[in-house]
Amino acid sequence: MSRTAGSPGRMPGRRPASPEDRTTVQEGIVKSDRDQGVTLADLAGRDFANVDETAQIMRIDQRTVRRRCEDGTIPAVKVGDWRIPVSWLREQARVAS
């Protein structure tokens, strides 16, 4: 892949590193700041969670969340993308513990 004339030292299609891309080493595990995940505490005061937040909380893939919303296994409303009630997520967390 060749570099573009106006961007020495940078490959096309790549964005420069940002503070969110920092990595930390903790107990031998390298984690990006983006991988910290969402918790139910992060959703305090909100009525709905999006698909990404739900997937992180439930530790399942986003495609699985969407599929379960479509078949009614996860109660959700579709406003652009699916919105899942935070109250339902809290209820699932109580059942699992």
Spans of all domains in the chain: 38-96
Among residues 11, 40, 12, 35, the alpha carbon closest in space to that of 25 is found at 35
- Identity of the amino acid at 91: E
What CATH number does the domain located at 38-96 have?
Answer: 1.10.10
Structure token pair of residue 94: 């109580």
Q: CB of 69 within 8 A of CB of 89? A: no
pLDDT tens, residue by residue, 72-93? 999 999 999 999 999 999 999 8
pLDDT tens, residue by residue, 28-76? 444 444 456 889 999 999 999 999 999 999 999 999 999 999 999 999 9
Task: Identify the pLDDT of residue 94.
Answer: 86
